[in-house]
A and B are shown apart, each in its own frame.
Chain A
Amino acid sequence: MTKGENMKRRFSFRFILYLALLPGFLFSFCPNASAIVYNLQAGIKTITMPDGASITMWGFGPVGGEITIPGPVLRVPSNDSTLTINLTNNLPEAVSIIIPGQVATLSPVRFTDSKGRQRVRSFTHETPPGGTASYTWNNIKEGTYIYQSGTHMAVQVQMGLYGSVVKDYAQNEAYPGINYDKEVLLVFSEIDPELHAAVANGTFGTPLYPSTIDYLPKYFLINGVPYPDATIPADNILGTNDTILLRLINAGLKTHVPTIPERYFEVISEDGNPYPYGRTKYTVMLPAGKTKDAVVTLPSAKRYPLFDRRFYLTTNEVSPGGMLMYIDTVEPCIGDLNNDKDVDAFDLVIFISEYGRTDCSQANPCVADLNSDGRVDFVDLLILAANFGRTNCP
């Protein structure tokens, strides 16, 4: 084993440990097995765009952790029926959290305007600046959703107070009967830099910048970043044989039309509701605030461009930029017998342990029978040899 592989193995171990401890770090896990609790904060974060522009954002992050745009993906285990978010507000104005696609009871907050009319400023109860509040959804449904601020929404959502909520029906089963191997979650959003500057320097809400009616975004983001920064996470390697679930989320204020022009997919749901019949498309109309799920396979080992067919492909007026990214797929590895995403000496050890078996069957399987002919022989060894050394298997 080379030093590099050794490092990687240790990294993998650490990664697993990290995953195991993650809920403990970030979230206090409720003793009730059917409820998951996330402790989030809302706060200010300054981000830098590829053109060097520095933008003041408001966003969500774990308590004690970093604010991110979009906020953290809130995953609800399949057997949980309740989601609770404890929100700490580190912003200068009151915020709240709503999940438009989940049925919920709301506690609207009103104020009286100068003409004596009651107006709602928050769809549900607020978390005051410096305070905390709790938001709970009972009977949370499976699907892909947005969570976002429900307060002063015309300002706060475009400031960055959005994220996604994901719940599967079962392990690798998004909805009953909709199975998938890999997930690609894409949050589309926009930034109007002048508006953010006005909020940051206090001119927003004054006659200089009275409202968001003239919203004019110049940055067009996928998962919080424009081209070329939007990528599939490095540990999410997609195989040409994988059934990929695209979770498409528009947290922006404009309609976008994500497209993979080279491949049809099946659009299967919107706002967490499966369609009675899927829709075979290479485009998805994704209006503001909408989530849609699509199932796709990408059968060639190559990069598939995915972009907004409304051509918001500039970054502060410069091309290329905006909502363009790639989905890379690779051939599946044959011979990754221990499923550690590498074909290496560990796999060879397993192979050797089974070498010579001729009794492979469904009842008595051999992982090393790579050509499924019932025995582990020289032919299988050749296949293993051909794949030997591959890393980052899908």
Chain B
Amino acid sequence: MIRINRLFVLGVLLGILLTWVNPCVSEVFVQCPGDLNGDAIPDPYLPGGAPNPEYRANVKCMHLAAGDGYITMADGTPMYIFSFADLTGVPPDQAIEKGMLAATFPAPTIVADEGDEFYLTLTNVGMMVRPDLFDPHTVHWHGFPNAASIFDGVPDASVAINMGSSFTYYYKVVEPGTFMYHCHVEATEHMQMGMLGNLYVRPAQNKLPDGTNLNGFTHHTGYHYVYNDGDGSTYYDVEYPIQIGSFDPEFHIANETVQPLPFAYMKDKYPMLNGRGYPDTINPDPLPPPPANINRGVHSQNITSLIEANHGQKILLRISNLNVTRFYTLGTVGIAMKVVGKDSRLLKGQNGEKLYYDTFSVTLGGGESTDVILDTSQVSPGTYFLYTTNLNYLNNNNEEFGGMMTEIVVK
């Protein structure tokens, strides 16, 4: 109750602030070629039904809010976060209201296809719980090839968007693979607070005509691959982004309660996959929202890590690590991993040497990614596990039988 009163007051204050700060230029502004109504969804047809001349099939748009919110740790502890919320499809005049206190963790997953022109609008909706913060935000597409600094999202080297306004990033997507994204403003703070998300690009090879011969491998419509491998060797049936993360509860509490931020003592105690500790990782649905009085009932943990496949299928795990404190080793038990990619590139030598290798664990520091294929035809139907072999992180802080672990179900 205390929270909702406080929030209400703060929200009103923030609302006043947003209209007061530069009313002429401060606005939500979605840039999306072919989008007629600002909801970041390109419209192929004009209202009358005629083709929209601005529409291009390879243009994709997304609208993200940057703000704050709450999630629930697997031991039941609510956690204050900064992160992004998906505003795609929301009319611009409702965007700020919808984006407030709606941050999700991990941030909404960004999926693009090689060849896309991707327009990403970021609207800074402000921190409802920390109205004293005037923090700008950015999106850093981590690993974008030949990035230009204006769209790289490093505030020191370019610009960051202030509260109440929008910035549109443009990416011509030419490189398939597993990337990640995060806010780069005051990176240690904003990333510890949760402004982290999955991002991956599917290769052009997926769209080859049916029956194409790939060096002896016959492509069929609907087949997908991790990379443009040229031989079908990265074929998979189902894919799961798996983002390694972890939170230091003391840091989040300090931020929520306007205390000095303990960078020097930062120790992450909630190890997670896709923003959840075990057993919440295996909940196939969005987690129930935190108590409605703290984030308006928004579903803020929407990405399951339950890995499911039918026997015989190949599972692609797009593993990335965006925690800010340490390396984690993620292992499987009972089923082998085939590592086919690292940092958005196929593991292949200059003369086509195959550098794929089989293993049972991969180790990633923050900002690393790897692509791993699990071939379920090699095992019997049943349940297998993906877990950190740093076994002391199989805890949700003080609660045992949790942490960085999920299940792989082969049916």
Binding site for B on A (CB under 8 A): 98, 100-101, 103-106, 108, 111, 113, 115, 117-121, 123, 150, 152-155, 157-158, 205, 210-215, 253-255, 270-271, 273, 275-277, 285, 287-290
Which residue of chain A is the closest to B269 with respect to CB atoms? A213
- Evaluate contact between B333 and A119: CB separation under 8 angstroms: no
Interface centre among A119, A211, A273 (most CB of B within 10 A): A211
Q: Is B353 an interface residue (CB 8 A)?
A: yes
- Evaluate contact between B389 and A288: CB separation under 8 angstroms: yes
- Evaluate contact between A101 and B401: CB separation under 8 angstroms: no
Which B residues between 366 and 404 are near A, CB-CB below 8 angstroms?
378-380, 382-385, 387-395, 397-403
Out of B359, B394, B407, which one reaches A273, CB within 8 Å? Answer: B359
Q: How far is the CA of A277 from the CA of B351 in the complex (A)?
A: 14
- Evaluate contact between A276 and B355: CB separation under 8 angstroms: yes
How many pairs of residues, A versus B, come closer than 8 Å at their CB atoms? 135
Binding site for A on B (CB under 8 A): 76, 269, 278-280, 283, 327, 329, 331-336, 353-361, 363, 378-380, 382-385, 387-395, 397-403, 407
Contact A103 to B391, CB < 8 A, known contacts A255-B329, A287-B363, A289-B331: no
- Evaluate contact between B390 and A105: CB separation under 8 angstroms: no
Which residues of A lie under 8 Å from residue B355 when comparing CB positions? 276-277
A-B pairs with the 10 shortest C-beta distances? A289-B389, A215-B392, A210-B398, A273-B358, A211-B395, A287-B329, A271-B360, A212-B392, A288-B389, A154-B394
Q: How far is the CA of A121 from the CA of B385 in the complex (A)?
A: 12
Which residues of A lie under 8 Å from residue B269 when comparing CB positions? 213
Which residues of B lie under 8 Å from residue A275 when comparing CB positions? 357
Contact A255 to B402, CB < 8 A, known contacts A106-B334, A276-B356: no
Known: A103-B334, A212-B394. 8 other contacts (CB 8 A): A100-B361, A101-B360, A117-B283, A119-B279, A154-B401, A155-B400, A210-B399, A213-B393
Which residues of B lie under 8 Å from residue A285 when comparing CB positions? 363
Q: How far is the CA of A271 from the CA of B330 in the complex (A)?
A: 13
- Evaluate contact between A253 and B400: CB separation under 8 angstroms: no
Which residue of chain B is the closest to A139 with respect to CB atoms? B378
Which residue of chain A is the closest to B358 with respect to CB atoms? A273
Out of B332, B379, B399, which one reaches A211, CB within 8 Å? Answer: B399
Out of A118, A153, A213, A287, which one reaches B398, CB within 8 Å? Answer: A213
- Evaluate contact between B391 and A157: CB separation under 8 angstroms: yes
- Evaluate contact between B392 and A158: CB separation under 8 angstroms: yes
Question: For the complex, would chain A's binding face be called helix, strand, loop or mixed by DSSP majority?
Answer: loop
**A113 CB to nearest B CB, Å:** 7
Contact A119 to B278, CB < 8 A, known contacts A154-B395, A210-B398, A211-B399: yes
Which residues of B lie under 8 Å from residue A119 when comparing CB positions? 278-279, 401-402
Q: How far is the CA of A205 from the CA of B379 in the complex (A)?
A: 35
Q: How far is the CA of A118 from the CA of B382 in the complex (A)?
A: 16
- Evaluate contact between B384 and A253: CB separation under 8 angstroms: no
8 contacts between A and B (CB under 8 A): A100-B334, A106-B334, A211-B397, A212-B391, A213-B392, A275-B357, A287-B361, A288-B391
Q: How far is the CA of A119 from the CA of B392 in the complex (A)?
A: 17
**A248 CB to nearest B CB, Å:** 14
- Evaluate contact between B335 and A103: CB separation under 8 angstroms: yes
Which residues of B lie under 8 Å from residue A111 when comparing CB positions? 401
Which residues of B lie under 8 Å from residue A118 when comparing CB positions? 279
Question: For the complex, would chain B's binding face be called helix, strand, loop or mixed by DSSP majority?
Answer: mixed
Which residue of chain A is the closest to B397 with respect to CB atoms? A213
Q: How far is the CA of A103 from the CA of B378 in the complex (A)?
A: 8
- Evaluate contact between A105 and B380: CB separation under 8 angstroms: yes
- Evaluate contact between A105 and B278: CB separation under 8 angstroms: no
Contact A120 to B354, CB < 8 A, known contacts A158-B392, A213-B395, A288-B389: no
Which residues of B lie under 8 Å from residue A212 when comparing CB positions? 391-392, 394-395, 400
- Evaluate contact between A106 and B383: CB separation under 8 angstroms: yes
- Evaluate contact between A273 and B363: CB separation under 8 angstroms: no
Which residues of B lie under 8 Å from residue A289 when comparing CB positions? 329, 331, 360-361, 389, 391
Which residues of B lie under 8 Å from residue A214 when comparing CB positions? 392
- Evaluate contact between A100 and B333: CB separation under 8 angstroms: yes
Which residue of chain B is the closest to A149 with respect to CB atoms? B391
Contact A290 to B333, CB < 8 A, known contacts A101-B360, A211-B399, A275-B357: no
- Evaluate contact between B400 and A106: CB separation under 8 angstroms: no
Contact A211 to B398, CB < 8 A, known contacts A103-B335, A120-B407, A255-B327: yes
- Evaluate contact between B392 and A253: CB separation under 8 angstroms: yes
Which residue of chain A is the closest to B270 with respect to CB atoms? A213
- Evaluate contact between B279 and A105: CB separation under 8 angstroms: no
Which residue of chain B is the closest to A213 with respect to CB atoms? B395
- Evaluate contact between B359 and A271: CB separation under 8 angstroms: yes
Which residues of A lie under 8 Å from residue B388 when comparing CB positions? 288
- Evaluate contact between A288 and B390: CB separation under 8 angstroms: yes
Contact A98 to B333, CB < 8 A, known contacts A271-B359, A277-B355, A285-B363: yes
**B202 CB to nearest A CB, Å:** 26
Q: How far is the CA of A82 from the CA of B23 in the complex (A)?
A: 75
**B405 CB to nearest A CB, Å:** 8
Out of B332, B363, B398, which one reaches A255, CB within 8 Å? Answer: B363
**B378 CB to nearest A CB, Å:** 6
Which residue of chain B is the closest to A209 with respect to CB atoms? B398
Which residue of chain A is the closest to B280 with respect to CB atoms? A117
Which residues of B lie under 8 Å from residue A287 when comparing CB positions? 327, 329, 361, 363, 389
